[in-house]
């Protein structure tokens, strides 16, 4: 942290162009607080007293310090105080510029010229600073306090170059430079208050209040989004657990099916033949002869066949996507009925899984779609980079063109001044010429017997008329 400013009696330190704007304001206040004569020594300057001649006119001979009057002593003391403050207010590198100065005003002028420049340099700096100020915008991650400090920095720079920015212009600039999230607040301020009478500090306070409320709402929204994401993770976990339970059920069902097959292998051949006959009897085609219908038994309402009911019909089961089941005879045991149920469940699950897989996209199709999206994303990124490069080049060219325009305008103003000076010189020369010609004419009238060998009376009149016409033009 800088040590300057720790004591009231210590002047601020100038280290270069980086802190000149702040140093100048603080040094002016420091010189004024010493006494009024010290600051007047900077404004009016001081010259060593000289001796007077008999007529009371100043001579080139300097007075000795013992001969100074009381008033001259006070002016010299004020100049010494101001010069001492400037000597102690600069570092050793800048001290070389003012080391030989005897007058405080001379040292102050040197520092101003070095850091602020001449009038032409100030004009160029003002133009560049105006361009930067007009292009100033507040970033989304920037706070109102930080942007307020940036605007005040620009205001101080303008003030150091001799141009004051009105309060209304600063207020309007801040309202125009805010991000989109402040649009509603800006509209409300413009409709409810008079911008011309509004102070910048008042505007900053109102915007800071709105910023705090908006940040709190954003924090609550982020918390709710986090809660939703946690809930989604729990749902995904429950789905994973349900898929695991289904897989376990499938494994258990496979084990039961293997046990059923082993039981069927252990049964005697007669039982298997009976099962085959029963199966053949259940799956044979229906007879459409109406005369034999009364002798066939029960008729199915689905396929209009005989010998089975609708719930046992193969056509009905296919429509319901449950697959075919094998109907066991009344003579089978209770274990065979359980076996048929297990086979029915297994075939139904396998059929539904096969159909669901056919409806999903294949891995190749997903890979092809992903590849297309990657290519499209790469193309969009490439176009975006090209546009960014183009924007950067245009901004660079714009800055260069603005600098050239400022240089040309300065040269144009200088040329106009030179032309005006030359016109004034020509007019003065013409006036002197006419005056001399008039004097020559008077001399010729006074001495008629001694005409001028160069100009006679008849040759003088046309010259006077010509000069008079030039002056009138």
Structure confidence at residue 195 (pLDDT): 85
Tokens 């020509």 belong to 426
CA–CA dist 273, 260 (Å, integer):
17
Asked if residue 101 lies in contact with residue 110, where contact means CB atoms within 8 angstroms, the answer is yes
What pLDDT, on a 0 to 100 scale, did the predictor assign at position 390? 93
Asked if 328 contacts 275 with a C-beta cutoff of 8 angstroms, the reply is yes
Alpha-carbon distance of 463 to 473, in angstroms, equals 16
pLDDT (tens digit per residue) in 172-187: 999 999 998 888 888 8
Give which of 158, 157, 138, 140 is closest to 148, Cα–Cα.
138
307 contacts 282 by C-beta, under 8 angstroms: yes
Q: What CA–CA distance (Å, rounded) separates 307 from 235?
A: 50
Q: How far apart are CA 380 and CA 395, in angstroms?
A: 23
User: What is the pLDDT, as a whole number, of residue 359?
Assistant: 46
Cα dihedral 443, 444, 448, 453 sign? positive
Q: How many CA atoms lie within 13 A of 301 on its CB side?
A: 2
Rg for the chain, CA atoms, rounded: 53
CA 216 to CA 15: how far, in whole Å? 43
Tens of pLDDT along 263-293? Answer: 666 655 444 444 444 444 444 444 444 444 4
Residue 121 is predicted with a pLDDT of 80
pLDDT score, position 356: 40
304 three-class SS: coil
304 Rama class: left (phi>0) / alpha (psi -120 to 50) / beta: left
> Along the 473 residues of the chain, how does pLDDT read in single tens digits?
445 445 678 888 998 888 888 888 889 999 999 988 999 999 999 888 888 888 878 888 888 888 888 998 999 999 999 999 999 999 989 999 999 999 999 999 999 888 887 777 878 888 898 999 999 999 988 899 999 999 998 988 888 787 888 999 999 999 999 998 888 888 888 888 888 888 888 899 989 888 888 888 877 766 554 444 454 555 555 556 666 667 677 777 777 777 766 666 665 544 444 444 444 444 444 444 444 444 556 777 777 777 777 777 777 776 765 443 444 344 444 444 454 444 444 444 444 444 444 445 677 777 788 888 888 888 899 999 999 999 999 999 999 999 899 889 889 988 998 999 899 999 989 888 898 888 898 888 876 544 444 444 444 455 555 555 554 45
Alpha-carbon torsion angle 206, 211, 212, 217, nearest 10: 130
Q: Residue 58, SS3?
A: strand
Q: Give the pLDDT score at 103.
A: 93
Give this prediction's pTM.
0.39
pLDDT, position 24: 87
Q: What is the pLDDT of residue 289?
A: 44
How confident is the model at residue 190, as a pLDDT?
A: 86
Sign of the C-alpha dihedral computed for residues 452, 456, 457 and 461 taken in this order: negative
Tens of pLDDT, residue by residue over 311-363, are 777 777 767 654 434 443 444 444 444 544 444 444 444 444 444 444 456 77
What per-residue confidence (pLDDT) applies to 67? 86
Task: Tell me how long the chain is.
Answer: 473
Can you list the alpha helix ranges (DSSP code H) found in 144-285?
Answer: 144-160, 167-176, 183-192, 200-266, 269-283
Contact 316, 301 (CB under 8 A): no
**pLDDT the model gives residue 123:** 84
């Amino acid at each position: 942290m800088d040590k300057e400013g720790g004591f009231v009696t210590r002047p601020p330190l100038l280290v270069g162009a980086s802190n000149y704007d702040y140093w100048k304001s603080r040094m002016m206040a420091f010189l004024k607080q010493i006494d009024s004569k010290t600051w007047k020594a900077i404004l009016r300057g001081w010259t060593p007293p000289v001796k007077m001649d008999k007529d009371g006119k100043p001579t080139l001979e300097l007075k000795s310090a013992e001969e100074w009057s009381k008033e001259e002593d006070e002016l010299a003391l004020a100049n010494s105080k101001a010069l001492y403050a400037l000597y102690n207010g600069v570092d050793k590198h800048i001290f070389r510029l003012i080391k030989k100065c005897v007058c405080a005003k001379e040292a102050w002028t040197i520092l101003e010229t070095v850091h602020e420049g001449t009038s032409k340099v100030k004009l160029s700096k003002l133009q560049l600073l105006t361009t930067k100020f007009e292009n100033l915008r507040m970033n989304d991650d920037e706070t109102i306090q930080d942007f307020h400090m940036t605007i005040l920095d620009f205001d101080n720079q303008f003030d150091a170059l001799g141009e004051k920015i009105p309060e209304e212009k600063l207020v309007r600039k801040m309202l125009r430079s805010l991000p989109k999230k402040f649009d509603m607040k800006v509209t409300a301020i413009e409709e409810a208050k008079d911008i011309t009478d509004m102070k910048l500090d008042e505007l900053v306070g109102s915007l800071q209040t709105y910023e705090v409320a908006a940040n709190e709402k954003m924090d609550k929204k982020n918390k709710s989004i986090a809660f939703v994401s946690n809930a989604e993770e729990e749902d995904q976990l429950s789905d994973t657990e349900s898929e695991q339970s289904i897989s376990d059920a499938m494994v258990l069902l496979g084990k039961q099916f293997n046990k059923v097959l082993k039981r069927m292998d252990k049964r005697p051949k007669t039982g298997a033949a009976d099962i085959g006959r029963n199966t053949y009897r259940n799956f044979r085609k229906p007879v459409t002869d109406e005369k034999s219908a009364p002798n066939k038994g029960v008729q199915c309402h689905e396929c209009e066949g005989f010998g089975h009911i609708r719930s046992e019909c193969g056509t009905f089961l296919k429509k319901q996507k449950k697959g075919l089941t094998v109907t066991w005879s009344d003579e089978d045991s209770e274990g065979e009925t359980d076996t048929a149920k297990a086979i029915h469940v297994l075939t139904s699950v396998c059929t539904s899984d096969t159909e669901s897989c056919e409806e999903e996209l294949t891995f190749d199709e997903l890979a092809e779609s992903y590849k297309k999206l990657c290519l499209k994303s790469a193309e969009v990124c490439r176009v975006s980079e090209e546009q960014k490069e183009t924007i950067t080049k245009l901004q660079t060219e714009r800055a260069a063109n603005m600098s050239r325009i400022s240089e040309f305008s300065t040269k144009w103003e200088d040329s106009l001044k030179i032309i005006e000076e030359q016109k004034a010189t020509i007019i003065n020369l013409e006036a002197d010429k006419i005056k001399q010609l008039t004097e020559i004419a008077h001399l010729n009238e006074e001495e008629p017997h001694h005409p001028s060998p160069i100009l006679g009376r008849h040759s003088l009149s046309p010259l006077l008329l010509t000069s008079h016409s030039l002056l009138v033009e």
